[in-house]
A and B are shown apart, each in its own frame.
Chain A
């Protein structure tokens, strides 16, 4: 037993039969806790299982994210699904394969190494033995040892290839989403939410709501939860829009416009943490700058949706949350149920990119269903709800103070950052409708536990560069004006934007080329390799002096300083706005289980990162979030998107590194650096809107 070396998912769920079974003829049932959120994980995990088991991938039936049937692997976040979930599944399958081969060898009276497996059938001297996974009696009701070595890379035939996404055909032909799921007798429900947390019902004009519905409507009041239920989605939606004005709320102090900007955080009480070199900065040439990002929406194209059913004392919720077990515990706590009364099943949603409205809609549906036993309740948030009520990515303000040595090298860096919380998941009383229940369960404090640094705002706050003295001070502001939670990369994007912009500013001050400057203080050969590769792809040597109106900028980041490497070069044209012309990215993912899928993640991260950088900021009015439509919250469109070339460094012998978030921060900084190169002036506050550029040009 080498349990202490098992990957976390397997250590938490050590029974083999939690992961794998052969109970259906000719089929392998693979069960995992990591869920498909558009990143292709379902396919990558099937590749891993089929590879280790030596079966055809089409034989695999995957169950992902099910509190009754799948292992508890926590939440699908932080680019850990292949690193940890995949590693666990690989060990399970390798061990099961070995167990089955050993039993078959015993039965056949031959040595194990005389046997091999082809598509689930056990062969001896390449001839069928009549035995296979389905006929060899091996009980998987045992604990994994993790002691069976998986295949070597040289033996791979499926891992490392571009197996097509297994879920995509259904979606191309118009099916496959949570939003398409129905139950017999299902009705449509909606919880009328206050514009932000803390609202209490002051008055309700029921007649106006019923009139707008124009069809039979149930209005259910339970504490401060006001729910509308109709047979017909059209009637319900009409009622919900009427309710937006027909329900008045108490208990909300007005917001001010200043609160929507990151700088407001610097004026607030905070929980502070310090890490790094305790010594004061040494003497030398000082350089400092401050950078920021506003609040950013997840902006899922499909607003969140869930169905819940309470029957015979049991609550079942179908939803698209990133962590079914954590969500189940929020339901159990927030609705005061027993754990064995609740099942949560994951269905595919629109891409979420973090903690969007998925958990809240699931809770809404559950809270209504509990009060209407035997009636399945579907909750479909409106666009206005998804933008206005979901937790948003926190604003951040980052100040960097550096000391340059005589040769221009950055020898000391102090980072001071202000951020709201980036993780606000789970908790019994935290979801919106939990707070509206009579005698609500108190919300749990924010659980920002991401080791090794206090507060997820510090993700990538420590430079990956060889800088002699580096330290940071993190001010986490718990009292953000609106709810914040996980958005792709957490603090990594603002921190990498700030750091990589600052490195360029230091290079400029010391009169050095930004690429050469970085290479002088980056000893990790893999980091150097991606930087050089991206620069080569972009033709970095053609870069001219700044201020010409076109710019070439580069940036590097290793996500979390432990995960995927990415270097990005951006070429753009600039006057009073920025037009992207070309983006190149070189990345190191270690072993890429599905290289095409990794490239898709890199491309997606580049486009989303560019969109945040150029266009996006959540805006407030007195009530709460004002940007509740795509007109108020523009994102990048086809006509904004330049050619994008991504290259993966071949590293099949190194462990897989999560890539879902790797390209975002480097893209933001490369845009800022290219803009500075084009304009001859530095943009330090995202988004780089025309107003901000004009203001900067006017100095």
Chain B
């Protein structure tokens, strides 16, 4: 078989304990319509489960949706876990309600972008296309 160009693979996960996933589902469908392969994992996933899923699915991007306010600890844990597993080139972005003052810390932890409630799917898709690894 000759080599084919492949869609960008994105894992959408909701770490933490809050049970609302409407935003995450809208994002998952929106990115599918933008031509991404979206793996949706559902709510209340542990960071360990998210890391393992990202490895098994060999995704290019992990998108973490979070509303619970636990972002400051959970999000850096996912990045660190991915790096420890050898997934150094996986882009990690976050979405949800994250206060402005927390963003520099997340950026320093390796979260390349934070998309607030006003972000459009198009904006997110553009960021992922620009920054996801190429293969």
Pair from one complex: no
What residues of chain A have their CB less than 8 Å away from a CB belonging to chain B?
A: none
What residues of chain B have their CB less than 8 Å away from a CB belonging to chain A?
A: none
